[in-house]
Amino acid sequence: MHRRDALQTLAALAGVPALAGRTVADVLAAAGPHRQAGRLAALNATQNATVVALAERIIPATDTPGATAAGVNQFIDLLLAEWFSADERRAFLDGIADVDARARAAFGKSFAAGTHAQQDGVVAVLDGEVTALREASRATAGHFFARFKALTLYGYYNSEVGMTQELRYQIIPGRYESCAPLGAR
């Protein structure tokens, strides 16, 4: 990765500085008792289905759980409801609507109703747009897909599923042995 790409990725993540050091579970728990489990605060059912399908195309379930199992859609819904400004929320929801409009134009159904191959085609176009911006040395932070992808990655890799099953992160690896032999020299 080039320095410029790294800086652009960091700039795209600049929209969530209040989340530093928190896992997805921490953020969802911080929403407090007014947020009921399984209920959406900012997304309607159609938008949520698009978010679920799009996030799952970015991080699909393989031998490890995907974005859906990590609750990335709930994480994004919480950010939209609790942290995004009204203008940011509107722009993000417009981006979700644009993904559905592109899907309807490409294969006559909503993004969530398409096959994986059809969804991958729309994702490839969106990713191509972000890549073209990056190659033209233009900011990608304003592009919906760049922001969505960054939030998906942030949400997934800070979830318990992402940390423990994908990254195999252990807070205290192995076990403590006070008098362990150092091994052969």
Long-range CB pairs of 92-96 (<8 Å, 24+ gap) are: 92/144, 92/147, 92/148, 93/42, 93/43, 93/47, 94/144, 95/144, 95/145, 95/147, 95/148, 96/43, 96/47, 96/50, 96/51, 96/144
What mean pLDDT is predicted for residues 87-105? 95
Query: Which has the closest alpha carbon to 19: 181, 157, 146?
Result: 157
3-state helix, strand, coil split of the chain in percent (to 5) is: 60, 0, 40
Which two tokens mark 19? Answer: 């989340």
pLDDT tens-digit readout, 127-185: 999 988 888 887 767 788 999 999 999 999 888 888 887 777 777 666 656 676 666 65
Q: What residue ranges do the domains of the chain occupy?
A: 21-166
Token pair 């900012």 is found at 42
Q: What is the pLDDT of residues 6-47, one digit of tens each?
A: 545 545 555 445 555 555 555 555 544 444 556 888 999 999
